[in-house]
Amino acid sequence: MEIFPIKIPKKDEGFDLFGTIIESKFQFQSEDIIVISSKFVSMSEGSLIELKNVKVTKRARILASRFKMDKKIAQVTLQQSDYVVSGIPGFLLTIKNGMIAPNAGIDKSNCPQGKIVLYPNNSFKTADELRKKFLKKYGKKIGIIISDSRLMPTRIGCTGIAVGVSGFDPVEDERGKKDLYGRKLKVTFKASADSLATIAVFMMGESDESIPVVVIRGANVRKTQRKLSMKDMTVNPKIDIYLRNMPSL
């Protein structure tokens, strides 16, 4: 595989995402997979909240006090999450769009002062629209990943996760294949999109690198034109190996 980081100057909120990507003058090829930071997508959509305008509820105050959080961050987290699993000082552990996410994926870094950035409005729809624009304008069959960085249980540091995918199967079923010793695999699935997102997140960095887009060339993925959703990538928390039997707050 080849990996190409695309450096893009800092953008104010509300801009043409597709136009900004093609302005980079990168020579995209068919079968490329373009990985785009979810925060960059959110900034293009204007998916930000002014903290001073947030009204705090009683529940948010209780959780903020319990977990030593800014009460307005706690409030927005409650509004953005499907439900809250638990918390530690500074963070609520939530489920958002079927994924586990600290503070429902909201973030204060790399966004204007006094604001917080949310997840994109609909990552899968955005990914699908971008893929179709590349096909229509350039005749190129491109895969798209919208990525986020994420902490793994018991591990130090951030890795990558896909929050939106178009153009290829994000998960491949390996069950029925044989291992090196001829035993059939019974439970194994390959998280193709998350693995590629991790490669891209490594290139993007976490601070002031200004690399919101990474192109991965030569990845062996299974192409698809079908409309994807988070259901193609997630399991119910009730059967999740980390979350099963964990009550919500």
What is the model's pLDDT at position 212? Answer: 96
Token pair recorded at residue 92: 């609520």
Question: Of 81, 97, 118, at which residue does a domain stop?
Answer: 118
**Which of 81, 80, 84, 100 is closest to 92 using CA atoms?**
84
CA dist., res. 205 & res. 200, Å (int): 9
pLDDT > 90? residue 125: yes
Q: Are residues 157 and 95 in the same domain?
A: no
What is the model's pLDDT at position 200? Answer: 96
Asked, for residue 248, whether it belongs to a domain, the answer is no
Q: Are residues 22 and 132 in the same domain?
A: yes
CA dist., res. 30 & res. 119, Å (int): 28
Question: Of 118, 133, 166, at which residue does a domain stop?
Answer: 118
CA dist., res. 44 & res. 205, Å (int): 19
Helix, strand, coil percent content, the chain, rounded in steps of 5: 30, 25, 45
Q: Are residues 4 and 61 in the same domain?
A: no
Question: Of 88, 118, 148, at which residue does a domain stop?
Answer: 118
Say which residues have a Cβ less than 8 Å from residue 29's Cβ, sequence separation at least 6: 140, 217
Contact of 142 with 33, CB cutoff 8 Å: yes
Q: Are residues 69 and 184 in the same domain?
A: no
What is the model's pLDDT at position 63? Answer: 95
Q: Are residues 128 and 195 in the same domain?
A: yes
Domain with 82 in it: what CATH number? 3.90.1660.10
pLDDT > 80? residue 215: yes
**Which of 110, 79, 72, 109 is closest to 96 using CA atoms?**
79
Q: Are residues 137 and 56 in the same domain?
A: no
**For residue 136, what is the enclosing H or E element?**
helix 123-138
pLDDT in tens, 129-171: 999 999 999 999 999 999 999 888 888 988 999 999 999 999 9
Asked, for residue 249, whether it belongs to a domain, the answer is no
Asked, for residue 30, whether it belongs to a domain, the answer is yes
Asked, for residue 242, whether it belongs to a domain, the answer is no
Q: Are residues 152 and 217 in the same domain?
A: yes
Q: Are residues 180 and 147 in the same domain?
A: yes
What is the model's pLDDT at position 108? Answer: 83
pLDDT in tens, 25-75: 999 999 999 999 999 999 999 999 999 999 999 999 999 999 999 999 999
What is the model's pLDDT at position 94? Answer: 92
Q: Are residues 10 and 28 in the same domain?
A: yes
**Sorting pLDDT into bands at 50, 70 and 90, what band is 187?**
confident
Higher local confidence (pLDDT), 236 or 247: 236
Please give the tally of structural domains in the chain.
2
pLDDT in tens, 74-123: 999 999 999 898 899 999 999 998 888 899 999 888 788 889 999 999 99
Higher local confidence (pLDDT), 58 or 236: 58
**Sorting pLDDT into bands at 50, 70 and 90, what band is 237?**
confident
What is the model's pLDDT at position 23? Answer: 94
Domain around 87: 48-118
CA dist., res. 221 & res. 36, Å (int): 18
Q: Are residues 14 and 125 in the same domain?
A: yes
Domain with 194 in it: what CATH number? 3.30.1330.100
Q: Are residues 109 and 126 in the same domain?
A: no
What is the model's pLDDT at position 34? Answer: 98
